[in-house]
Amino acid sequence: MITKNIQLAADKLKDGEILAIPTETVYGLAANAYSEDAVKKIFDLKNRPNNNPLIVHIKSYDFLQNVALDIPDAAIKLAREFWPGPLTLVLKKQAHIPDLVTAAKETVAVRMPNHPMSIALLEKLDFPIAAPSANPFGSISPTSAEHVYHYFKDNLDLILDGGHCEKGIESTIIGFQNNEAILYRHGSISVEEIERVIGKIKIMTKNETAPEAPGMLSKHYAPSTKIFLSDDIHELIKKHSGKKIGLLSFDKQIIGVDILHQEILSSTSSLEQAAYNLYSALHRLDSYNLEVILAERLPNVGLGKTINDRLERATK
């Protein structure tokens, strides 16, 4: 059922069941973060490997001490600046957080979401919500209730409908080593914005990522149609001529070539608007029975880095 009834959603979570919830980033599959049994249902439905930890969503800054300890000053600064919002902090965990939530690590990923429905839902609960994106493992993240329904149909009882996600792309994940801040995942808040608050941070390269941020797989966020990415979209089109082509471009319509569908992420060249539209455009292109999706790399600044990161992973 797709509903706007927040009380119904709260009752379901209290009963140890799972459901989909809207956030400002993407839709999440939610469970009581303190219940290993409830959280297991998320892994089963998503087909998500156990070594891929979940983000714990809390209702307030003050609730943070219930899930994390020894919080670095830089983390406090970032939380004060960006919460509620699309910033996930990886912190030392409180012992009672189940191993399944954290992939048996000593750390927990936590954020305070900024969506009126998820905040109202958390207000009705005395436990935090563990929630990964509401898609089968590895596929494109959902940014609307319809995307979630399309994936899970009747295998999921309840989808809380909060409209199209305002940001449309996942949270930025920051961890700490010896009190030094490290970017684990590009997200809705750009590196530049983070650095404005706490100064230069370390960007974890793909090879370093594996042990520290399990689940940051190089292949992820992928449509089922094969996707290719390039700075030179015309070259790419030439290479694939004769095929059933779908095009994903940043801000310009490509004319005079034989393509079946084109998605333009932002005709005003706004990276924020491009992030908002990215997954919806990929969902649409994936539904047209194309042979290939050809994508244009975005300018590599601000949210452009996040979008390029997602497109890069989609091509693997």
Residues of this chain that interact with ligand AMP (CB under 6 A) are 52-53, 55, 90, 102, 105, 107-109, 132-133, 170, 173, 175, 184, 212-213, 215-216
Q: How far is the CB of 92 from ligand AMP (least distance, A)?
A: 10
Q: Phi-psi category of 101—alpha, beta or left, where left has phi over 0 and alpha has psi -120 to 50?
A: alpha
Beta-bridge mates of residue 53 = none
Nearest to ligand AMP of 53, 223 (CB atom): 53
Contact 287, 280 (CB under 8 A): no
Q: Give which of 8, 73, 280, 29 is closest to 163, Cα–Cα.
A: 280
Nearest to ligand AMP of 52, 230 (CB atom): 52
Q: How far is the CB of 191 from ligand AMP (least distance, A)?
A: 17
Q: How far is the CB of 91 from ligand AMP (least distance, A)?
A: 8
Residue 47 identity = N
Q: Which of 107, 114, 118, 133 binds Mg ion (CB under 5 A)?
A: 133
Q: Give which of 101, 41, 37, 43 is closest to 67, Cα–Cα.
A: 101
What residue 105 binds from ligand AMP, Mg ion, none (CB within 5 to 8 A, per partner kind)?
ligand AMP
Q: Give which of 237, 299, 311 is closest to 269, Cα–Cα.
A: 299
Q: How far is the CB of 99 from ligand AMP (least distance, A)?
A: 11
Is the bond leading into 113 cis (omega within 30 degrees of zero)? no
SS3 labels along 110-161:
EECCCCHHHHHHHHCCCCCEECCECCCCCECCCCCHHHHHHHHHHHCCCEEC
Residue 257 phi, psi dihedral angles, 5° rounding: -125, 160
Q: Is 188 in the site for Mg ion (CB under 5 A)?
A: no
Nearest to ligand AMP of 48, 59 (CB atom): 48
Q: Which residue is nearest to ligand AMP (CB)?
A: 215
Stretch that binds Mg ion, among 131-139, 153-161, 229-237, 278-286 (CB under 5 A): 131-139
- Angle CA 27–31–35, to nearest 5: 160
| Residues 146, 133: Cα–Cα separation, whole Å | 14
Nearest to ligand AMP of 43, 184 (CB atom): 184
What residue 52 binds from Mg ion, ligand AMP, none (CB within 5 to 8 A, per partner kind)?
ligand AMP
What residue 53 binds from Mg ion, ligand AMP, none (CB within 5 to 8 A, per partner kind)?
ligand AMP
Nearest to Mg ion of 133, 144 (CB atom): 133
Q: How far is the CB of 220 from ligand AMP (least distance, A)?
A: 8
What residue 86 binds from ligand AMP, Mg ion, none (CB within 5 to 8 A, per partner kind)?
none
Contact 160, 13 (CB under 8 A): no
Q: Give which of 7, 43, 4 is closest to 131, Cα–Cα.
A: 43
Q: How far is the CB of 82 from ligand AMP (least distance, A)?
A: 16
What residue 143 binds from ligand AMP, Mg ion, none (CB within 5 to 8 A, per partner kind)?
none
Contact 129, 122 (CB under 8 A): yes
Stretch that binds Mg ion, among 1-9, 84-92, 125-133, 161-169 (CB under 5 A): 125-133
Residues in touch with Mg ion (CB under 5 A): 133
